[in-house]
Each structure stands twice: as structure tokens, then as C-alpha cells.
Amino acid sequence: MYWLEKNQLEQLVKKLAKDYRIFGPRRDEVSGEVIFDWLENLSDLDLQASIPYNPPKFILFPHFEEILKYRYDHRSKKAVIERINLLEPKALVGIRACDLTGLLCLDRFFLGQEFVDEVYLEHRKKLFIISNTCVRPFPQCFCVCTDSGPGAKEGYDLDLTFTGEGYIVNCGSKKGQKLAEELGLKEAGPEASELRQKIIDDSISSFDRFALENKAWISRATNRLTTGFIKPEVWEYIGNQCFECGACSFVCPTCSCFNIEDVNSKTGDTYRVRTWDSCSFEGYTKMAGDHNPRKPVEDRRNKRFFCKLSYSQSKKYLRPGCVGCGRCARVCPGDIGLPNVVTYIRREITEG
């Protein structure tokens, strides 16, 4: 462990910027809201800013991405396929614990199964991750309910915890260790580790005061979702409020569904494009001949929460699919973010 003085942060980021494109939280100048973004201007980095409105998912799994290019030659009847070279290495500076947990879920989906997603892998292996402990929860947070914060447990190269004066630095990889050494950071003893734990404990105990927007006691809901004992009327009530916009999937740090489209360009090349997709859309599960296993909107809602919270699905992620960031509640036109859905499920349990 190391100490990082406040003024050394700039040094760290500048050094990192020599080899990586820097992404981190910045404030929009008009709204004052925080967005995780490519920092053209490194001084825009704001580690004290609240949890960004968007998760850093788009950096590894973009909203819209050309993943390969091909051209079909009619005379030789051959298709020439070209791999698209991906961008330079990227560093995520100041990722919150919930979002890092989300990223690890994406890893398990894209890399941890029978087929490895090469495009994701390309993004992923060139990544440098610096996590940032939430010393105080934000209004929408419920990571304590989903075991994904407020401090990061794994998956980072460096982890920062703000003490009020400087940062406690935890190294999570050789890459991270190397950077800390190169910067000549001051080594910290076991007191740093204790202090970090105390900061995290204080943060957890302050959820009652600061994190007032959402609560989601998910364990009972998980039980109910896994066994399938939720009444259809509950899903119908939720489904009626769904505007079918897809936002919950798009803002979710763990949602990984995508669509593939081949786009013919005017030059004669065809681009294969990958875009975000959502299980809330009717066309998502539609099959030939007007068959749709999940046609009514409530079936589609039901599917999403099964994916986030059921035991069988959690086995794939090695944890629940929800990381407690509260974003789905903020972007939902129908006010049926995950915390509300959990409440409706639990309400049904208590009401019998």
C-alpha cells in the first residue's frame, strides 16, 4: 500500500496519459451533472464528483461499434474480411466500485464462457483500471444490498481511497504496482489498511442518512424470482408502467445484450455493426412466423429481473446481476427501476 498526496494525482494521471487514453468522471459545465467520459482535458478529472450518470460500460462495449468490414467480389466470388483495428489502450480513472463490479460481470459474459468475444477482449486487455472508494454514498446508491461497494474488492490495477488529505493506494496488479513504484509513492504500513477499512465502514453506516432514494433488499426477491412464485398481476402492474424505451438495459453496468447489423456503405464495403439491445423490446425475442415467447411487455420485464436477480442467472456472474448503482431508477420513464420492482415483489410476499 502507498500514500498519494492530493497534488500527486495530477502527476499520476499525466504519467498514465503517455500510454493510455484517459477516461474518468467530469462535470458538465451547464448541468453540473457528472458523466464518465474521455477526458480531452486531464484537469477535468473530478474524483470527488458523485457517481457518474453513465457507467463506463461504453468504453469496452460501445453503444455502436463497427466490429469488422468485408467486401464481396462478385467476379471472384470471394469475400475479403478485414478486422477493424481497435483504439489505443485506455485507462479508467476513478471508476466506482459498483461499476467495476459491473465490468467484472461483463467479463464473465464476454470472456468467461465457451466462446470468447474477441472484440471485447481487444478492448479489455489494453485497459488500466483505477477504482475510487465511495467515502460517502450518493442518494441513489444501494450497493450495500448487492455486495458491490462502497469499496472495490477486486479487479483494479490501483485502488484509491480518499482520506480527506490524500489517497490510500492499493495495488491490485503488477501493472499497478509498477506505476506506483515509478511514481515514487510513499509506502504505507498496516495503519493505511485499517484506515481504509474504517472509511468503508463509516460509509456503509452512513447509507441510512445519505442514500435515501432507493432501497432494495434483494435476497427475498431473489428467492421469489428463482422459484417463480410471483403472481402474474404483479408483473402486469409493472408491465403497464413500462414505456419500452430500453433505458434500464442501456444504463445497466452489467447488461450485455447486443444486436448485429450489416451496413452497406456507398464505397461497396459492408460494415458489421454491434449495437446495444434490450430485452424490453418486442423485436428482441421475435422469431420467424410471428412467434414470440415473450410478446406481452410484462413477460419481457419479468425476463429482465430474472436475469438480474435469480439464483440460476447469478451463478453465471458469480454474483447477482445488479450492482446497486441506482441508475435504472433514475432513467426510467415508468418509475419501475429495479429497487421499485424489488419493493413490489416484497410487498406481495408480506401481503401473502
333 binds other proteins (CB under 8 A): yes
Contact 185, 169 (CB under 8 A): yes
Min dist CB 247 to other proteins, Å, is: 6
Residues in CB range of 227: below 8 A, 6 or more apart:
none
For 216, the grid coordinates are 432494495
For 200, the grid coordinates are 468503508
Residues in CB range of 76: below 8 A, 6 or more apart:
none
Site string for other proteins, 228-247 (x = CB under 8 A): ------------xx-xxxxx
263 binds other proteins (CB under 8 A): yes
Min dist CB 66 to other proteins, Å, is: 9
Min dist CB 246 to other proteins, Å, is: 6
15 binds other proteins (CB under 8 A): no
Identified binder of other proteins from the candidate list 113, 197, 205, 265, rule CB under 8 A: 265
Min dist CB 342 to other proteins, Å, is: 17
347 binds other proteins (CB under 8 A): no
Question: How far is CA 4 from each of CA 129, 161, 175, 183, rounded to the nearest angstrom?
Answer: 16, 10, 17, 10
Angstrom distance (rounded) from CA 73 to CA 323: 48
Instruction: Give the length of the chain.
Output: 352
53 binds other proteins (CB under 8 A): yes
The single-letter code of the amino acid at 343 is T
Contact 77, 61 (CB under 8 A): no
Min dist CB 197 to other proteins, Å, is: 33
Contact 159, 133 (CB under 8 A): yes
Angstrom distance (rounded) from CA 255 to CA 219: 20
Identified binder of other proteins from the candidate list 73, 182, 208, 282, rule CB under 8 A: 282
Identified binder of other proteins from the candidate list 144, 192, 307, 332, rule CB under 8 A: 332
* Selection from 93, 351, 141 nearest residue 230 by Cα: 351
Min dist CB 46 to other proteins, Å, is: 14
Identified binder of other proteins from the candidate list 6, 10, 64, 197, rule CB under 8 A: 64
31 binds other proteins (CB under 8 A): yes
266 binds other proteins (CB under 8 A): yes
DSSP lists the bridge partners of residue 26 as 35
* Selection from 139, 181, 134, 178 nearest residue 157 by Cα: 178
Contact 15, 183 (CB under 8 A): yes
317 binds other proteins (CB under 8 A): no
Min dist CB 93 to other proteins, Å, is: 14
Min dist CB 156 to other proteins, Å, is: 23
For 347, the grid coordinates are 410487498
Task: Mark the segment that binds other proteins (CB under 8 A) among 53-61, 113-121, 194-202, 300-308.
Answer: 53-61
Interface positions with other proteins (CB under 8 A): 28, 30-33, 35, 37-40, 53-54, 58, 62-65, 240-241, 243-247, 250, 259, 261, 263-266, 273, 275, 277, 281-283, 286, 290, 330-335
